[in-house]
A and B are shown apart, each in its own frame.
Chain A
């Protein structure tokens, strides 16, 4: 009995050592207690400014992004959400429309990065948050952690997907596809570390009018909005379009959509 117990303990000890050595063989960035930025130019900090006064809700950015990044049907890295706004106390007022382009905010404190259990999603030194699709296990934890619903699981690759500021274009000296195509010139992209860049000038000129989405989350987003109404900063307290259709047409969603 003693021999078999000793043998059992020896074998379980060997198994434990094996597991530990697997853990030790983890990538270099795992040696700290927080994720480390890697890749990209550390002298730069890319960001986007969106001047909502110039956005006409044409969805050219949505289409350009879809064409550039080949996202599957129904999934979007950016979309322009739109709202009808009425003042219920003023019946004479006409309905106003509000357009709000949404995308990954490339936060300085991105909640999606530390939750990733395999370090597939990380932040580059230039601030761009990316996903290593070869490393991603598709657990969807980052999708949950993002406060902006900016991530999704791509059904073609079965990995996490999101806006990358078109990093492949930026590295080739081009602008992100959505910026390139923006009809009203509402989207301005550039390096906020460079005081002479267009984005730095636009942000400086706008001053206190510059706002971000969900500032209370403490994520320090790097997509800045000019002309953002307070009611749209966080979760919009209003009626969803689907609910409106259901109320109007009564029955199931499929019917309401058709």
Chain B
């Protein structure tokens, strides 16, 4: 190793201010957005081959849309003051817009999912016998619009931070968007593997379908990575080049890069074999790991790059709520929601094999 000609002898480690809660939020919200958008293939475009995948998308969308705002609220150091977002609307701040887009998306997506899944909901959750099927398409379009706004604001609020070259790249919006859709299909593969009532043939077909979606969007994530790398290697003073100059020499960052390449590479190459349920679930886990790691690298490792000082800041994951316990808690909440969904649903071999619009009321 060459001897550096500058050694920093006195400085402090700057604590991260966006905690692992932020990683959880960006992870789950991207999944909710991805699941909402892919479900439109059936609810709006009426592609019949997307129906079974769309049912799973809605389960995934619901669970992620419930978990994401909880994680975001926990990332505020003063969560009880969340109402300040509404008493002080600040149109020049992306985060202020997000305070409107996110709850609107979460609420509308839950209503949209309810309209779609009404035939398989128990009587008490159907809220009457009226026929609201005509509302599905407008609510689906509204959900899609809000999903795009959430994707836009989550990407933009990070992308505009000029002080962090790693964040200050337009590719970040594409990274989050593509990997979010891929991760939503990946989470769908996990759900599909355990939904035994669907019957083996339906599950295999759905698995193959979700696997293709996952593979395509993992490939797009990789292509975004290639674009970022090319922009970085082109030199100059663009944010990508400045970010690459800082991280490329670090063994830790090199490892992160290889891990991301491996996760999305495996997902893109083997996604087409997701017809096998357990292999599909395994691929789903790998892809979810990639989508999580991407956000972890951007947020946690990204905050360890000093803006003025030398080297990198120090970080160790705390065990408490702001660290490991928080992460476990968020995934635990997701698990509870998805279990409640599957328990409540009238998911029988008959209802699974019948198009939703043709399922008779109990």
Contacts and interface: CB of A to CB of B under 8 A. Distances in A.
Nearest to B134: A5
A22 B78 contact: no
Given A139-B95, A213-B308, A240 B8 contact: yes
A113 to B, nearest CB: 9
B14 interface: yes
Residue of B15, B99, B237 ringed by the most chain A CB atoms within 10 A: B15
B309 A235 contact: yes
A118 B89 CA distance: 7
Contact of B90 (A117, A138, A213, A241): A117
Interface string B1-23: 01111111111111101100000
Interface in B1-60: 2-15, 17-18
Interface in A86-145: 86-88, 97, 102, 111, 114-120, 135-141, 143-145
B92 interface: yes
Contacts of B135: 5
Interface string A217-250: 1000000000000010011111111111000000
A74 B11 CA distance: 11
A118 B84 contact: yes
B88 A118 contact: yes
B93 A115 contact: yes
A197 interface: no
Residue of B8, B135, B160, B246 ringed by the most chain A CB atoms within 10 A: B8
A239 B4 contact: yes
A26 B91 CA distance: 11
B14 A137 contact: no
Interface in B78-119: 78, 81-82, 84-96, 98-100
Given A81-B11, A137-B76, A253-B314, A118 B308 contact: no
Contacts of A213: 308
Contact of B8 (A216, A234, A238): A238
Contacts of A117: 85, 88, 90, 93, 95-96, 98-99
Contacts of B96: 117-118
A193 interface: no
A22 B311 contact: no
B130 interface: yes
A54 B310 CA distance: 23
A149 B17 contact: no
B307 interface: yes
Given A118-B84, A138-B76, A238 B6 contact: yes
Interface string A29-70: 010011100000000000000000000010000000000000
A137 B74 CA distance: 11
B10 A141 contact: no
Interface string B155-178: 001001111100100000000000
Nearest to B103: A19
A81 B78 contact: no
Contacts of B100: 19
Contacts of B257: none
Contacts of B160: 115
Interface stretch (A152-160, A170-178, A180-188, A201-209): A152-160
Contacts of A114: 92-93
Nearest to B246: A235
A111 B98 CA distance: 19
Nearest to B316: A253
A76 interface: yes
Interface string B114-151: 00000000000000101110010000000000000000
Interface of B: 2-15, 17-18, 75-78, 81-82, 84-96, 98-100, 128, 130-132, 135, 157, 160-164, 167, 237, 246, 303, 306-312, 314, 316
Given A115-B157, A118-B90, A239-B8, 5 more contacts: A82-B11, A137-B84, A139-B75, A149-B14, A236-B310
5 contacts: A19-B100, A81-B8, A120-B84, A137-B76, A147-B163
